[in-house]
Amino acid sequence: MENNAVLVLADGTVLEGEGFGSQETAEGEVVFNTSMTGYQEALTDPSYKYQILLMTYPLIGNYGVRGEDFESSGIQAEGLVIRELNSNTRDSRRKNNLDGFLKEYNIPGIQGVDTRFLTRKIRTHGVLNGILKYPYEEKELEDLKEKASRLEDISELDLVDMVSTKEVVRHDAGGGKSVVLIDCGVKNSIMRLLMEREVNVIQVPAKTPVKEIMDLEPDGILVSNGPGDPQKPSYVIESIKKLVQEELPMFGICLGLQLISIAYGAGTYKLKFGHRGSNHPVKDLKTGRAHITSQNHGFAVDSETLPEELEVSHISLNDRSVEGVTHKELPVSAVQYHPEGHPGPWYNYYLFDEFVASLK
């Protein structure tokens, strides 16, 4: 293996490996995902904006890339870090292999890295900013270390505005009900599951004024997932404050939960290394059942700051953090995990059924 690529962390750690994908430089927060599959869905998830994705499973790329598994228009993560690349593309259903996929979207990757060491480091010290450079020269290392130490913190950036749609997009399912989806970085599978339930989806930019949203005559509101610090897109928070007064059914997913909670007065905090994977256990406090869930978030709602109107409906069985909230009187609810489970378990689809039922 030729060590022609490097990952440099903000604390000065240097990890050399073999580059693949596009010969580029990536900057951002280095985070890990524990899923054994789903690298394509993760790479195209807008929630990974300004993040360099580390997959902990040692063999990545073995089932190629398929067009129907995109979660957005292209790769959203800044770079990819893996242990070993497999570029098998013998299955005719595959559109591309992982190396070619990264090349198509000008994204660099590095393999041959000790991903166990890097994952343990992040778990111990918390997420770190970093720079992935392919190719690189030894004489660049000191400059890369200095530059990595000065990268902007993710909380300083309004990433929602970067990934949100710039125009209203109508997705007609031929149904009698319509949901306005406030796009903070939505995954395609969320819209697909609503449409499978014959709900028309009107995807609007995150900065859409409330009057324009209400002029669309929605039967409900969905606040989507998305990247970054939930305190940053204040314009969405202000919209939610006004929209809840309309008493329409409202459902939030991931970042959507955080934004709804903040709109009611709750606080949030940054998790040490986040929840990213497809096997996170969550307890439903109403039924007592445990669910295995797909997750991708680096911030959480502080349960001690929840206002009287909201109550915790779900908690993480790993760290007891908030995984769901519901309003005590209004048809407003949200979950921190991803019920669309793409990748991940599919049995959390019932949450879409409940939301659609509330529209009637």
Cα four-point dihedral sign 192, 193, 198, 199:
negative
Q: Is 167 helix (H, G, I), strand (E, B) or coil?
A: coil
Tokens 């939505």 sit on residue = 186
d(CA 82, CA 76): 17
275 is catalytic: no
Pairing of strands 332-335, 322-327: antiparallel
State residue 120 phi and psi, 5-degree precision. -60, -35
The full length of the chain comes to 360
Q: Is 120 helix (H, G, I), strand (E, B) or coil?
A: helix
Rg of the chain over Cα atoms, rounded to whole angstroms, equals 20
d(CA 322, CA 76): 26
184 is catalytic: no
338 is catalytic: yes
Contact between residue 243 and residue 326 where contact means Cβ atoms under 8 Å apart:
no
In one letter, which amino acid is 70?
F
Question: Which is catalytic among the residues 254, 275, 323, 342?
Answer: 254
Q: Tell me the CB-side half-sphere exposure of residue 324, using CA atoms within 13 A.
A: 24
Pairing of strands 108-111, 14-21: antiparallel
Strand residue runs (E) in the chain: 5-9, 14-21, 25-33, 51-55, 59-60, 79-81, 84-85, 108-111, 128-133, 169-171, 177-183, 199-205, 220-223, 250-253, 268-284, 290-301, 310-316, 322-327, 332-335
Contact between residue 181 and residue 159 where contact means Cβ atoms under 8 Å apart:
no
Q: What are the catalytic residues?
A: 254, 338, 340
